[in-house]
Structures are given as structure tokens and as C-alpha cells.
Structure 1
Amino acid sequence: MTQNSAAEVLRYTAFSADPRGGNPAGVVLDASGLDGAAMLAVAAELGYSESAFLTGRYEPAGAGSRTGADSPDDAAPAPVRGYTIRYFSPKAEVPFCGHATVATALALAERDGPGELVFSTAAGPVPVTVAREGGELRATLTSVEPHVARIAPDDLAEALAALDWPAADLDPALPPRITYAGARHLVLAAATRERLADLSYDFARLETLMHRLDLTTIQLVWRAAPDVFHVRDPFPVGGVVEDPATGAAAAAFGAYLRAEGLAPDSAVLTLHQGEDMGRPGTLTVELRAGDPRVRVSGTGTRIDA
């Protein structure tokens, strides 16, 4: 496709400083010449769980300007940079993707320097701060306002059947919920690490249920400590069996923990994902008292083509 050949496609991994870890994403910093079909074709050719496309610049409403993350205190304020962004899995467009947001922010920081960004997504504006910490760039996104809902018993039974998880294998301390922070995810908590590690599911059956419930992933979790979790995210609606590190689901999970009283209003949580796939990554989730939004941060690095 002629349109595709004109777009420079970068490859980054998010939530790991090792290109062999974390979640890889395609990043197109200038997708102004691509339509939706062309973006989907790029994402399908890459085969990553999601790819991000910057379609233009804009002035964030009320953003003003702030001191750049790496600027001395007496430096001139750095403007907040605003971009419109779209996300595609190999099969469809999605409203929001955390790891591709982090990857894109890091790519922009390497090109233009660290600082404050705002991405205009289909789910709403998502601010991102990129700072240099100990020689590494680290991006922190702030989610749209989240919400949490119960799942109908019949839908829960169907999800467990598709996963081949007996209900007795669930952790009763972490109830199943549908949670949203830019995209919808079903949280299911495993009672043991062994249950989480044993993932073999009916792809078509789970995909059908997820389309009906408008779910982006199923977030499977195991609580290793009060503030440490191991997570996995089946993603059949995106055309891949499993997502290696899922920033959108991490934000939604933070909202879930707070809504269910399973984490304090102010907390820093660590999520380990990708270990069972051989692509380990670490996502840091921050809850702040008085702010319903959830912050998700991580490192990343460019992947050589």
C-alpha cells in the first residue's frame, strides 16, 4: 500500500528497559497521511497487540505551560505538547492503549526531549509526563476518570467456562468486576500463582463474550503481597492470545482496587506482567487521594528493526 510505505514506523517496547521484555508497540509519529484502513494495515503487518498513530498536533485546553521535567528551576516554562492519537490492534481500532501511549511518549521524548504531553484519545485527554530517572526515560500517564461495575452471574460463568477456570480457583477476596479507565476490562483473581500460570483458553468462545460485553482484555491477577500483583491479559478481540504488558488494564485495575476497598486512597502498586510469556515487564500504578484518575508509569526502549 502506497500510504503505508510513506509512514515511518518505529518499534518500541513499554514497561521494560530490555527490548526483549515488556510489550512491543508500533509507533508512527506522523500519520497525518494515513486513513483508518492504512493504519489498520500497518498494525496488522507489525502483528503487535497494538500500534499508535499520531494524526496531528493541537493546543490542549487550559494546559498552559509547565517547567520541563529536566529543566532547572529557573528555566523558561516548557509548553505542554498536544497530539491527537489513534490506536489499532491487528484486527480493529481500540479507544485507548496504555503501553502504546507510553511507547509513543518515549519516542517523542527521545526526539524532542522530556516534558509534558497530552494525547487526545477516543476515550478523552490523557496527560503524560516523561522524565529522566537515573539515565532512563520514564513515562507516567494519567487515565481518564474510571468506573467499576458488577458482572452478571451468567456472563461470569461464561468467562470462566471459556478460560476453563473452575469457580473454586478464584480468590474470594478479590471479586470479579468490569472496570474502565479508557477501555473496559474484566478482572478475575486467581487464588494461586499456579492457577494464573496455567493459561489455555477457548479463543473463539472468549472473543465472542468479550465482543458482547465490549471488553478489551480479561485481566487475570494474583495477589503476591498487599501492593504487589502478577497479571496476565488475554486479548482475543485484538487478534492475539495474550498481551505482554497492559497499561490500560493496569489503570483500570488500580481503580478497581480502590473502589472495592482493596487499596488505600493513596497507594503505589507494582504489577508484574509478561513473565509467563518470556517478556517480563513492570508497571507502577499510583493512586492519589482526592483524584479519581489513576497514574501508570514505566520505562521502555526502542527495538531495532
Structure 2
Amino acid sequence: MYDSPACEAVNADCLKCPKAVDNLILYASHSRGFHFIMPKCDNNIIMFLLKGEALVNSEEYAGVTLHAGEFILQAVGSKYEVLAMTDVECVCYRFSQPESFCEGRFQHIAKDVVPPLIFFPLKICSELNFFLEASKSYLVEGKICRELLQFKQKELAFILWRYYSDYELSMLVHTLSKYTDSFQYFVLKNHDKVKTVEEFAELGGYTVTTFRRIFTSVFHQPVYEWMQERRKEGILYELRHTNFTISEICYKYGFESLSHFSNFCKKNFGLSPRNLRKEVEKPSLSAPQDSMFLSV
């Protein structure tokens, strides 16, 4: 049944299996007063609220209260803010493209179905609630089996397409299609795959001059400056909110030595990597990007 040697052992640690991947379906709980701001989503995210109430503010959902038993979608590139009005529990699904969705129906809704003028949260139907409640116990883990994750993604997509109308789904589909064909989407999904502006331009099939011009017109700042900001954000996030060692983070981001990495952190953040990691225990820090409403 299993082709991984790690599964042959009794009580094997699945997190050490080579098939384990970062969990895109996440369960989380937060106390009343939890506040989180996402300046720009780098993934699509569906937020399923299981318990409590949360205030959401975004272009699509301006000042909307999300109640237990409701869900919304925020697309890649969008900005949103969340405030927990009570203690909350949620399951969140993060994904790059709606590849598990029915392509034919997706295109039909995108072309032929007019979405509501004012978006509203969708109700979690009984079938969807069963899926979420049955899944959350093992979603607490940081990683999940790749094959299981693929099955769960397909199951979730099936439930959405099976039990929701074209009109209801139009709020998801039109939000997704707004970003997925854009230059902005290309940048957000690929910036961590390249090291230089030249590599970035080549990946998109642009000349460097054209890529710089389009980038500046869309993001309103030079591409190199933007890439450096994302690099700093990535380093800070991984130091504060992941279990990667300082050495792993150092070499992942292309530093030649730990001393160079330490100097970079002191110059840009005012603290050494070790002290930045300790900062996570302070209550003033924001929660990690995926902690409340992130990718299923």
C-alpha cells in the first residue's frame, strides 16, 4: 500500500516521510482581539470560520462580519484585514490556481454569470461542514502527506461545485479570474523562484527593459527594490514563524556564511537572527501569515 520506507516502521513519524509537504489546508484557533493585516496575498485563500465571529475588511468584503458557519475567498494580490471579535476557530485553504475545479463550469461562470454587486459570505452547507470537521484533527500538523492533500483538495472542490449554485460561486470565480491572468499574478507567484531581475524577465518571456517598465507601472516601484523587500519579508517571516534552523534560512536566501547573514539582519532589522527568533514570544508581534486564514 505504501511505497515509502518510512511507512514500514511501527508508529512511523509521517512528518519525516519524503512525501510530507507543507500543509495547504490549515486548522487554527485564536483568542478574541487577534488582529492580522495581509498587505498583499501571495496565494488564493478560502477562509472557513467554524466558531466565533471575525471582522473582515477588504475590497471585496468591506467591514463584513464573518460568522461561524460562513466562508469567503481572498484572491492572490488582494489586501485584507481580520479582527477576531470572539475566540475563533477556522480552517483555511491556500492554493495557487483552481486546478481542482471543473474547468468547463469555471469558464461558464466567468463568462456568463454576473456576480452580485455586493459580495457576501457564503454559508457552510452540511456536507462542507462534515468535510471541515472531519479534516481538522490532522490539519493541526505542519505537514501532510502529498497524496492525501491532493485527495482533500479534489474533495473540497467537488463539494463546492456540487452543493453551491453558479450565482454563489460567481463571487469566488470572478475574484479568482480577476488576478490569475494578470502580470501581477505572474510576479507574485514567481518572485521567489529567481534571484535577479534578468532571470525574472527571462522567465516571463520579456526583455529586461520591457519587464522593468511594466513592473514599475503595475507595482509603482523598481523591480529590484521590490524583490529586496520580499526577500527581507521572507527572511523575517521564516525566522519568527517557522522551525527551519538559522543555517537553513541563511543558505536558502543565498548568503555565503552565517556571519554575512547576521550582518544583514542587524543592518536591516536591528537584531541578530537569534534575537529576531526570540522576538516571536513577545505579544506585540503579528501572527504568522498563514496562522489564521491561510491555505487549505
TM-score range, shorter chain: under 0.3
Bigger share in strand: 1
Bigger share in helix: 2
Computing the radius of gyration from Cα coordinates, the structure with the larger value is: 2
TM-score (norm 1): 0.22
TM-score (norm 2): 0.23
Q: Which has the higher contact order (CA 8 A, sep 6+)?
A: 2
